[in-house]
Amino acid sequence: MSVHIWGRAAASLCLGSALLFASGAHAEVGSTLEQIIQLAKKEPPLQIATQWAGPIISESKKAFQEKYGLVVEHQFVSGLDDRERILNEALTGRVNVDLVAVSGDLRDKFVSAGVLQKVDWSKLFPDISPAMISPNGYYLGTGINQFVIAYNNKLVSAADAPKNWSDCLDPKWKGKVGVYSRPLAFVQLYIKWGPDRSTEYHTALKNNQPVWVSSPNNVASLLASGEYSIVCGIGYQHLKTILYNDPSSPISIVVPKEYPYQVGEAVAVMKGGKAPNSAILFAGFMATDGAKYYDLFGQSNPLKEGTEAQAMVSKAGAEPFWAGWESDGKAQSVATRAVVTVWGFPTGR
């Protein structure tokens, strides 16, 4: 995150907060599920902002409407810039999104800016796993980022393909490894391995002359087109999207033995939104009845029985690892900066 961007955001914090309070009373939010359902029926269509692509959008919208009779309108957001825009707009009193999926790096910022509505998720939806509710009560984990290794099966045989993270360092892959320049895949591993082992690993990875790519979608597309042979560390959902659109794509996926995952989609209700009750209902729906639709997007929970992710982990004999909600925010930024510094980048994003 650049100093300039956050300097600007911090400078506008007081003004933005004042505008939020000056903008009049917010929409009423129910205290029980029954009240929330009744109030939601009086609200305009729900506006959600996530990185979804493909059938998860239509399937979840359809199922939610069938259950509650409520309409959902989706806007695509990706990376930090889109979320920063939503945050900065909220700081000036413009709230055009009711429910937003916030990137791990920015979750602390949204909370400290005072733009989120705290929700008692466990009271409203007792079937939700407590592990999926952030300790501060602002975020509900609905989608899980799983980080995998992948290879082009026209260029690499299954026998030669990497099986774990250390295999990405093999000299035979020198100049043939694609790596996403925002090291989301390595945040949880940094926490598990510690700074010394992480520095050793990423020094060796850099020396293997990987191809740095600025977009995870580009990483997946370039792998499919044969621009490089393997990808070391990418969110499974980016590969899932390509394979859904083109089942004949020559992408094969490896679940590494050390299997990092984290809450990739932590949704939060924006203060000042026009449909906060609908937002609460939709978030709770996606964490319960609607959780199955994350299989369509490659963001299901590897610890939840019956999910595609759990089946992948079980088949590979992998060890899922997530350091918990405390690995968000500052901890994620520290890990990111540490990794990209070893890679030789000036700052972490």
Q: pLDDT tens digit string along 59-102?
A: 999 999 999 999 999 999 988 899 999 999 999 999 999 999 99
Question: What is the pLDDT, as a whole number, of residue 25?
Answer: 58
Helices 195-207 and 329-343: crossing angle in degrees, nearest 10, is 40
**Model pTM?**
0.87
Check whether 31 has a pLDDT greater than 60.
yes
Distance of CA 93 to the CA centre of its chain: 26
Kind of pairing between the strands at 72-76 and 177-180: unpaired
DSSP assignment, residue 64? Answer: H
Q: Using alpha carbons, select from 317, 301, 181, 299 the residue that is nearest to residue 240.
A: 299
Cα distance between residue 252 and residue 154, in whole Å: 10
Taking only the tens place, the pLDDT of each residue in 182-218 is 999 999 999 999 999 999 999 999 999 999 998 888 8
Q: Using alpha carbons, select from 73, 85, 79 the residue that is nearest to residue 48.
A: 73
Q: Which of residues 65 and 1 earns the better pLDDT score?
A: 65
Taking only the tens place, the pLDDT of each residue in 229-251 is 999 999 999 999 899 989 999 99
The answer to whether the beta carbons of residues 16 and 90 sit under 8 Å apart is yes
Check whether 348 has a pLDDT greater than 60.
no
Check whether 107 has a pLDDT greater than 80.
yes
Question: What is the pLDDT, as a whole number, of residue 4?
Answer: 42
Question: What is the pLDDT, as a whole number, of residue 215?
Answer: 87
Check whether 17 has a pLDDT greater than 50.
no
Question: Which stretch of 3-12, 19-28, 280-289, 301-310 has the lowest confidence by average pLDDT?
Answer: 3-12
User: pLDDT over 70 for what percent of the chain?
Assistant: 92
Q: What is the mean pLDDT of the chain?
A: 91
Taking only the tens place, the pLDDT of each residue in 168-182 is 999 999 999 999 999
> How many other CB atoms are there within 10 angstroms of residue 304's CB atom?
15
Question: What is the pLDDT, as a whole number, of residue 11?
Answer: 41
Instruction: State the average pLDDT over residues 13-17.
Output: 42
Cα distance between residue 146 and residue 235, in whole Å: 6
Per-residue tokens: 187: 């945040």
Question: What is the pLDDT, as a whole number, of residue 79?
Answer: 83
Taking only the tens place, the pLDDT of each residue in 113-168 is 999 999 999 999 999 999 999 999 999 999 999 999 999 999 999 999 999 999 99
Per-residue tokens: 260: 């990092």
Question: What is the pLDDT, as a whole number, of residue 175?
Answer: 95
Question: What is the pLDDT, as a whole number, of residue 78?
Answer: 87
Helix (H) or strand (E) holding 244: helix 236-245
Check whether 109 has a pLDDT greater than 60.
yes
The answer to whether the beta carbons of residues 251 and 131 sit under 8 Å apart is no
Taking only the tens place, the pLDDT of each residue in 255-272 is 999 999 999 999 999 999
Per-residue tokens: 230: 């393997």
> How many other CB atoms are there within 10 angstroms of residue 23's CB atom?
13
Cα distance between residue 338 and residue 196, in whole Å: 11
Cα distance between residue 96 and residue 86, in whole Å: 8
Tell me the DSSP string of 3-49.
HHHHHHHHHTHHHHHHHHHHT-PPPP--SSHHHHHHHHTTSPPEEEE
Per-residue tokens: 151: 């290879």
Length of the chain, in residues = 349
Question: What is the pLDDT, as a whole number, of residue 8?
Answer: 44
Cα distance between residue 299 and residue 293, in whole Å: 9
